[in-house]
Amino acid sequence: MDPREYELMYQVEDRHWWYQGMASITRAMINRWVHTPNPRILDAGCGTGAAMTTYLADYGKVSGVDLYPQALEFCRKRNASRLARASVLNLPFAPASFNIVTSFDVLYERAVADEVTALKEFFRILTPNGKILLRLPAYDWLRGQHDERVHTNRRYTKKLVKELLQQSGFVIEHISYVNTFLFPLAVIKRLSERVFPSKGVQSDLALSPGSFNGILRYILASEAPLAARISLPYGLSVIAVGRK
Ligand SMILES: C[S@@+](CC[C@H](N)C(=O)[O-])C[C@H]1O[C@@H](n2cnc3c(N)ncnc32)[C@H](O)[C@@H]1O
């Protein structure tokens, strides 16, 4: 990931509509699909630590792992303590160390040469019946300038995520596209980026002005109960729950 993106992520992830809306969706997924009392949770590719230290901490004891020291520095600023620097391709944990592994927008990065190797690592460190909660960006044809900033290797379909999880040994419990309601707007934005490219490589993380940010957050968060129950037919991300 472009080093500038860590600072930006750290600054906006407590307020940006996308992070806030995705947090609501993730909570709904955990509430419906993961019922483990006091679980040990690993956030694999934890970034600057917002998910770990805000909502994941409500469910159990959370540890974080990330390849890049810049990310872990920001996690420490959030007072996260159980942190390790490592690649998802080779995790420094014994088999059956965790009940839940979460990995949000990590396996698509160029630094993850092979998703199945990473998913097999998640499988190895999970307890029997342990759960993986995975989120990845959808559709390669939706690549935009933000994908350059975050070093996207590829984007996914529901079918591909399902296949990758199954190849790694997981049983799929639920899989859905999310960020469905805002999908038409996002397609227009991406296509207009191609017609009117801006100078330099832009991040999507710039905060939208106050009320607009609130409206977008409301729209995204309102998908949460639906996405946790049914498989939405299209969207900007794929989210899946798998069981070991
Ligand atoms: C787009 S960020 C997502 C961060 C966080 N999961 C979130 O949802 O905000 C991708 C993260 O994956 C990390 N990453 C990339 N390749 C990795 C690898 N091979 N092993 C561990 N972390 C990796 C990056 O450093 C970055 O923090």
What's the confidence (pLDDT) of residue 2?
78
What's the confidence (pLDDT) of residue 195?
74
Which among 244, 235, 194, 199 is positioned nearest to 22, based on CA atoms? 235
Atom in ligand 1 nearest the alpha carbon of residue 135: 8
Beta bridge partners of 104: 135
Report CA(66)–ligand 1 centroid distance (Å): 6
Report CA(233)–ligand 1 centroid distance (Å): 26
What's the confidence (pLDDT) of residue 4?
83
Q: Which of 66, 108, 132, 239 to mutate to test the pocket of ligand 1 (most atoms within 8 A of CB)?
A: 66
What's the confidence (pLDDT) of residue 189?
80
Q: List ligand 1's pocket residues with C-beta within 6 A.
A: 1, 45-47, 51, 66-68, 71, 87-89, 104-106, 109, 111-112, 150
| Tally: H helices and E strands in the chain | 10, 7
Atom in ligand 1 nearest the alpha carbon of residue 89: 19
Question: What residue's CA is closest to ligand 1, atom 8?
Answer: 104
Per-residue pLDDT of the chain (244 residues), as tens digits, is: 778 889 989 999 999 999 999 999 999 999 999 989 999 999 999 999 999 999 999 999 999 999 999 999 999 999 999 999 999 999 999 999 999 999 999 999 988 989 999 999 999 999 999 999 999 999 988 877 777 777 788 899 999 999 999 999 999 999 999 999 999 998 888 888 777 766 555 556 665 667 888 999 999 999 999 999 999 999 999 999 999 9
Question: What residue's CA is closest to ligand 1, atom 27?
Answer: 47
- Number of C-beta neighbours around residue 199 at 10 A: 5
Question: What residue's CA is closest to ligand 1, atom 5?
Answer: 47
Helices (H), the chain: 3-12, 17-33, 50-53, 69-77, 115-125, 145-149, 158-167, 183-195, 210-221, 224-229
Angle formed by the axes of helices 115-125 and 158-167, nearest 10°: 50
Q: What's phi and psi for 150, nearest 5 deg?
A: -100, 10
What's the confidence (pLDDT) of residue 204?
63
Fold of 3-243: Rossmann fold (3.40.50)
Cβ-Cβ contacts under 8 Å for 124 (sequence gap 6 or more): 91, 95
What's the confidence (pLDDT) of residue 199?
59
- What three-state secondary structure class fits 207? coil
Atom in ligand 1 nearest the alpha carbon of residue 47: 27
**188/183 Cα distance (integer angstroms):** 9
Q: pTM value? A: 0.93
What's the confidence (pLDDT) of residue 16?
92
